[in-house]
Every structure is written in C-alpha cells, then in structure tokens.
Amino acid sequence: MKPIDHPFFMRRAIELARRGWGDTHPNPLVGAVIVEKGVIVAEGFHDRAGEEHAEVNALRSLARKPMPGATLYVTLEPCCTHGRTPPCTEAIIAAGIAQVVVGATDPNPAHAGKGFALLRAAGIDVIRGVLATDCDDLNLIFNRWISTNQPLFAAKAAVTLDGKVATRTGDSQWITGEAARANVHHWRRYFPAIAVGAGTVLADNPRLTARIDGAEWCPWRLVFDGLLRSVLDKSMPRVYTDEFRERTIVVTTAHGGLGYVRKLNSLGVKTWVMPGQATTVRLADFRQRCASEGMAGVFFEGGSHLFGELLQARELDYLFSYHAPVLFADDKSKSILRGLRTESLANAVRLERVRHEVHGDDALIRGFVKYPEKLNIDEAAFNRRNLGE
C-alpha cells in the first residue's frame, strides 16, 4: 500500500491559511483540508477574527458527513475552548473524522496539547508536527500575542553586501530589486501597523501602504516624532493629508506641543502622547500602549535612529534583512543598525529560527532577534548619528 504523503496535504493547508493574510488579527492564520481515500474533497481557512475557523469551514464546504476513515489536515492544533465561536474539537468529533493531522501546536500555554487530548479521548487518531516549522511561521504575530499578550516588533532593512543602506550622499533608491520590494509589500499587508521615524517622513514622504497586484491596503501608520518636527506649516507629509490620514498615529511626547497635536487632530490624524519627561518616546511604554490598544504587531521600516533605539532598548523582536548583490566599499556610506559597541562575538546580536529566501537577485534573511547577556552601547557613536535619517 502506498504511504500517505502527509506533507503534501499539509502544504495545501498552508496555502489555504495564507488566504487570510493580514485579516485575522488577533487570531491566527489557519488552513484545513479533508482527505478521503487519498483525495482532497473539501477545504477551508480562517478568513477573519470572529468568523468560523478553518476546520468548520472545511466541514461545511463538504456539505455531507465525511466518509469512514476520512482525515482532516489542519495547520494549527484545533481549539478546544469557547470564544466567539464554539470549539473546533466538538465539530470534528461530531463529524466523525477518523484522523486529524496537525502542523503546529497551540502556542497558548493554557491550551497547548488539550485539543489533541480531547480528540484522542474521542477515539480519533492524531498525528502532530507535520511541517510544524512552516506552520509556526504562518503566525509570527499570533504566537507572540497569545503567549505573552505583547505585540511583535519587527524591523525591515534593505542593505548591500557590506551592510550599507545608502551612499555617502544619501542615495538609496533602490538598493534591492523589484521582487524584494514586492515581498516587503507582502509583509506590510501582514502586519497591523507600519512605523517610521520623523526623519524618514521628512526625507522620503512615504505613503506607507501595502500595494499588491494593483490593490492598495492601509495598515495603521505610526510616525515616531517626539518633538513633532514633521508637522510643517506649509507642505504637510502625505501621511497627514491623504485619504488614509485617519489611519495615521503620531507617537510623540509632551515636548511636541499641544498646538501641533491639535493641528494633527483637526486633520483627522491620531496622536499618542507618551508619558515621561524625555523628548524621545520610551519604547517599553510604546509596547504597552500597543498592547492596551490591541495592536498585535508593528513593522518598523526606518530610520537608523529609531532602529538603533530598538536595539539598545532590546525591544526589537524580529528582523527582515534584504541583501542585494551590491558593494559600496565606502567607509562614509551609511549603515542602519548602529549604536552598539560589540567587542567580541559573545556580545553580538544574533538571529535564531532563521528563514532564508531568494527574491529575484536579492536574498532575505529573517529571524527572531537573540540578545547577548550583556549589550554594550556605544553612546558617543550613537549621539554622533545623523538624525535626519
């Protein structure tokens, strides 16, 4: 008898899960397929928070009782508790599914493994861990949110082979090619929010939307501007005036001035005035504000000052680093991840659970940031930084 190709069916479930890309927060991306006699007979995925889960959608699309011996493939352990929808374990048991093949285990410590136990107690054969790493990778944001109630802070950098982001004159468009830039928009669509510093807004006047296949989607757009220097009297940045301006939040301090805050609010732009006496925003306070607002993930896109603060404060959780086959070989060209004094490999910041991808001629290395026990900060170098990023 030919062995069952569990990874084949799980790959299809992963493809289905991605159809909810960016729409399910704070819920996970989940895909499911029902297989009878080696053939997929029904499919489902979780479309958005509050709506039916992937397993239930697959069972409903079948529109009949599964045949004896039917197998359900699902990318994430079926839920076993009541939320906005009933437990998926109940629906699976009631349907008469004989076998459930699962990719990733529920990351919630309070629930992990309980769905498996309930299914087995009902006499269902359970196989777990099929393409688990790929299934986990679907839910970078959800996995952190459900296990810690904290948002995932990720940053994106596009660099040359020698780690530079711009020439000595500031020329940077474009270091990476079209395929890599399209992948950035793919991740913009995934995250609930994009963040940049005031310098980036002033220098590049970005739109900060996700543009995919001719469609445009706007996440929350966060501008870090402790002194509100991006609030201009004449030509205001487009994120404060365009059709998505009500999706813009300026993260500032009490030093920014109430007059500028009122001006932004009158345009429809939101402001978060963070606590403290400093002229820059404490990132730990910002993280807690995101948590209280239910903002589960933030994609930081610049600039170097903001990235340096993220590293120094140990607040960067995940890094997307796009590497172009380009060399500047110029000591005066610009880097983006600076401000540390790394004197030994033991003090280096590393990535773990790394994923490697190729987009056109460019390579993407992405992974979770792992900080050394001791992080040496080069205060002098950081203070000399060009703050007009």
Q: Which residues form the catalytic set?
A: 55
Residue at 220: amino acid letter: W
d(CA 128, CA 115): 11
Residue 175: C-alpha distances to residues 159, 171, 231, 308, 325 (Å): 7, 9, 29, 21, 9
CA-wise closest residue to 46 among 60, 31, 61, 34: 31
Q: How far apart are CA 239 and CA 208, in angstroms?
A: 8
- Omega of the bond leading into 217 within 30 degrees of 0 (cis): no
Residue 302 to residue 204: CA distance in whole angstroms: 11
Task: Tell me the sheet residues that pair with 73.
Answer: 33, 101
CA 47 to chain centre: 17
Rounded Cα gap, residues 250 and 221, in angstroms: 8
Q: Are 166 and 324 in contact (CB under 8 A)?
A: no
Beta bridge partners of 365: 321, 356
CA separation for the pair 117, 243 (Å, rounded): 50
Amino acid at 70: A
Give me the half-sphere count of Cα atoms (radius 13 Å) on the Cβ side of residue 357.
13
